[in-house]
Structure 1
Amino acid sequence: MTLISSALGGWLAGALSDRIGRVRTLQLTILWFSGFTFICAFAQTFPQLLAAKALQGFGFGGEWAAGAVLMAETISPENRGKAMGAVQSAWAVGWGAAVLLYAAAFSWLPTDTAWRVMFGVGLLPAVLVLYVRRNLREPVRTAPADKPEKAPLLLQVAEIFRPQVLKTTLIGMLLGTGAHGGYYAIMIWLPTFLSKERHLSVLNTGAYLAVVIVAFWCGCIASAYLLDRIGRRRNVALFAFWCIVTVLAYVMLPLSNVQMLVLGFPLGFFAAGIPASLGALFNELYPAQMRGTGVGFCYNFGRIASAAFPVMVGYMSHSMSLGAAIGIDAAVAYGLAMVSVLFLPETRGKRLRPTSPEQTPGSADGADLALSRARSQR
């Protein structure tokens, strides 16, 4: 429920950011997410918790969409990839903090109370709204001279299927599906694979969890640097290729417990590099008036469609080993990401003008792109 609602929330929040502004939408999504996370702590039945988690998901997905567009339009073209990839790495920091909080809560409190405390802490991000209101300014947006009447929100979200950007949207959907599909195929089935086929307890150790978290952070940081160094397309294709190599080695080779622990680092490292690339890439593909809608849709469509990949792993495991099913399924997903990104234009250094559609290289924006690259080289 959270996965589906967060994907829908990201799409709708992206469209809302095109309508009422990036900063205001970010404030609303932070408050929404924090509020419903806090409400989860007071659930008395499973249906109540399910409903609260579904509503929480709208804010969870919406925060990323609004925040990613805000950052893309604020950071300079030369540093956009590094900044957005670095912010994505903070996921690992929050992950580690949650693990420590979990250990403390369930060590010091009764189980029936500890999980409620975990949800209650979710109210703290609401404090960020005070910072957002004081310190973040809405990026400059040039309105059309005739100021046409705003279309209903549901019609606005369909703007990304106009003929001018339809190809971009379709390829973005495939890229998002492959990027998320490979990750979910591995991470959802990995515990079962390690315990049932390899008979390893490595996943239950603190050492393994630490390796995965550190690997995710390192992968995001490396991807952030490479985005502005070698470009968006090459970076995604590079990480997707090595994802295929590492996952096949992980599930096919006869590895020991210690070897599994060691190989867990490159597995998490390369899996993190693609999500860290998507924020900068998707933002640079769409014109300003539909940028939020496009970013929110492409990223979150992939999250919903990617659910098919772990389902396929379960289906395929009836006729082959679970390891082979995971390897083939994840390789297909990452292969889809690697191929689809090659059909997108390279957008490194692109200036995001606060006007209607960005021009193609060779026009005024093409000159800006060349100038920004020359400055970067100097």
Structure 2
Amino acid sequence: MSAPATTRLQPGTPEHRRSYRRALTASSIGWGLDGFDHTMFPLALGAILATLGISTAAGGTVTTISLVASAVGGMAGGVLGDRFGRARTLIWVIIGFSVFTALTATAQNIEQLIVWRVLEGLFFGAEWPVGVALLSEYTAPERRGRVMAFMQSVYSIGWAASTISYFAIFSLLPQELAWRVLFLVGIVPALFVLWIRRNVTDAVHRERSRSANPFAGLGALFAPGLRRTTIVSTLFMVGGHGNYYAVVSFLPLYLSTERGLQVSGTTTYLLVQIVGGFVGYVSSGWFHDRFGRRPTQTTAYLLAVSSMVAFLLVPVPAPAVGYLLIFLVGMCVSSCAGGLGAILSEQFPTRVRSSGLGFSYNVGRGFAALGPMVIGLMAASWGLGTSVLLVGSALAGLATVMLWLMPETLGKEIV
């Protein structure tokens, strides 16, 4: 069977420029909404554990289950993005993701909590790969690192918004009610994202065949010529996600339990980390376009591990020192994530780009989700800080090895 016919918007035309701006806005704000909604769970984790009578280990397991669900959702979303188009799929994703985030507020026990977090994870997993496929196909090769890093940086803005919401709501309400209100708030910005996305179109339009196997994209990822790319990219994301989750999933709990910070102190630390994260995201894109994918990403992982060591082991005689250290953690860990969109989008051909991104990013996420569970189990014997450092460092090492098994793709044309 011949490949479906494709048409492309011609770069430089007014139509392409208008569509590019819409795609950039829609993809960035959508990922920012993911940052807003998804970071609510680690922020509210302490209150959820107390209200529902859940142990720290069980809380880590819930996080893991949700992330595994996102792997399934990411694969499905990637296939749908190749089959029905990136823009259309993103509309479906944002609706489901927002609804199930809000329904998390209704959980009365751990079983209900798992149900809502699994359903939320299914839609959350699809947002990044489909959005990256959409935007990367609009972006010129010489600017792709910066543009994709900017999209990634908006996640930190969403994270900042959820942190401020956490501070405001938990300051006004008792914690057993506050975490529920926090999740309900998550549906509000979704309406804005839906409005933004109503006029977004794909850069590459493919003729859809009703008789085509809807899962053909996944099968093609393991055909000769793409099998190695798929496996290496997936293992790269196991390490990349795992390093990030090691820090982000337990940092609020670490600050409250081992540093003894109350809501206001935890919020201040997290906001400083988020500002550092924004700097790390945006600056990493410039380095990727200037020096290449492999040297920049390797340096980012080395700096991420170093910043974690400094934050966990260096004494903090004054708040200013703690703020400096957490700023560096945010900047260095986020700089690792800033390059992911450019690196992965340049590995797969257009016909299966969304499927390839969905598989590697989200199966990587699914295996990396074991990290929070392992940290939760290790914490009783090793302490939370040491467990985070050991697991995070090992996974950063895995990502670096896989990175150097991938080709250098700086300047690559993908459409």
TM-score, normalised via structure 2 length: 0.75
CA–CA separation in structure 2 for the residues paired with 1:120 and 1:328:
35
- Select 1:159's aligned residue among 198, 215, 220: 220
The Cα of 1:56 is off from its aligned counterpart by: 1.8
Aligned to 2:6: none
- Aligned AA (2:288): L
CA–CA separation in structure 2 for the residues paired with 1:108 and 1:249:
34
The Cα of 1:183 is off from its aligned counterpart by: 2.0
- Aligned AA (2:149): G
Aligned to 1:221: 282
Matches within 5 A, 1:346-365: 346-353=408-415
- Select 1:250's aligned residue among 301, 308, 311: 311
Indicate conservation of the 8 Å contact 2:156/2:278, yes or no: yes
Residues 1:130 and 1:271: Cα distance change in structure 2 (over 3 Å): same
CA–CA separation in structure 1 for the residues paired with 2:90 and 2:306:
38
Q: Secondary structure at the match of 1:352?
A: coil
CA–CA separation in structure 1 for the residues paired with 2:102 and 2:375:
35
Indicate conservation of the 8 Å contact 1:7/1:58, yes or no: yes
CA–CA separation in structure 2 for the residues paired with 1:196 and 1:105:
20
The Cα of 1:242 is off from its aligned counterpart by: 1.1
CA–CA separation in structure 1 for the residues paired with 2:288 and 2:346:
13
The Cα of 1:45 is off from its aligned counterpart by: 5.6
Q: Secondary structure at the match of 1:158?
A: helix
Match status 1:171 vs 2:232 = yes
CA–CA separation in structure 1 for the residues paired with 2:127 and 2:158:
15
CA–CA separation in structure 1 for the residues paired with 2:240 and 2:70:
17
- Aligned AA (2:414): L
CA–CA separation in structure 1 for the residues paired with 2:242 and 2:298:
15
Aligned to 2:366: 304
Aligned to 2:22: none
| Matched residue count | 348
- Select 1:16's aligned residue among 74, 80, 85: 80
Aligned to 1:230: 291
Match status 1:102 vs 2:166 = yes
Please list the CA deviations of residues 75-126 of structure 1 after superposition, one character each: whole Å capped at 9, or x if unmatched. 2222221111111111111111112223333445566654444333333313
Aligned to 1:133: 198
CA–CA separation in structure 2 for the residues paired with 1:277 and 1:256:
34
Please list the CA deviations of residues 174-229 of structure 1 after superposition, one character each: whole Å capped at 9, or x if unmatched. 211111112222344556666776x5549944331221111111111111221212
Indicate conservation of the 8 Å contact 2:104/2:117, yes or no: yes
- Select 1:36's aligned residue among 72, 92, 100: 100
Q: Which moved more, 1:264-273 or 1:100-109?
A: 100-109
The Cα of 1:289 is off from its aligned counterpart by: 1.3
- Between structure 1 and structure 2, the one with the greater Rg is 1
What percent of counterpart residues are identical? 35
Residues 1:186 and 1:111: Cα distance change in structure 2 (over 3 Å): closer
CA–CA separation in structure 2 for the residues paired with 1:237 and 1:63:
26
Q: Secondary structure at the match of 2:79?
A: helix
CA–CA separation in structure 2 for the residues paired with 1:57 and 1:310:
15
The Cα of 1:285 is off from its aligned counterpart by: 0.4
Q: Secondary structure at the match of 1:274?
A: helix
Q: Which moved more, 1:185-194 or 1:7-16?
A: 185-194
Aligned to 2:126: 62
Q: Secondary structure at the match of 1:161?
A: coil
The Cα of 1:132 is off from its aligned counterpart by: 1.6
Match status 1:273 vs 2:327 = no
Indicate conservation of the 8 Å contact 2:79/2:214, yes or no: no
Aligned to 2:30: none
Aligned to 2:142: 78
CA–CA separation in structure 1 for the residues paired with 2:120 and 2:371:
25
Matches within 5 A, 1:333-344: 333-344=395-406
TM-score, normalised via structure 1 length: 0.82
Aligned to 1:50: 114
Residues 1:328 and 1:63: Cα distance change in structure 2 (over 3 Å): closer
CA–CA separation in structure 1 for the residues paired with 2:257 and 2:168:
30
- Aligned AA (2:344): F
Please list the CA deviations of residues 10-53 of structure 1 after superposition, one character each: whole Å capped at 9, or x if unmatched. 12101110111101101110111122233344556654443233
Q: Which moved more, 1:110-119 or 1:340-349?
A: 110-119
CA–CA separation in structure 2 for the residues paired with 1:110 and 1:308:
32
- Aligned AA (2:68): I
CA–CA separation in structure 2 for the residues paired with 1:46 and 1:67:
32
- Aligned AA (1:25): T
Residues 1:323 and 1:51: Cα distance change in structure 2 (over 3 Å): closer
Residues 1:194 and 1:30: Cα distance change in structure 2 (over 3 Å): closer
**Structure 2 unmatched runs, 5+:** 1-64
The Cα of 1:348 is off from its aligned counterpart by: 1.8
CA–CA separation in structure 2 for the residues paired with 1:31 and 1:49:
19
Q: Secondary structure at the match of 2:391?
A: helix
The Cα of 1:141 is off from its aligned counterpart by: 3.5
**Structure 1 unmatched runs, 5+:** 354-378
Indicate conservation of the 8 Å contact 1:202/1:261, yes or no: no
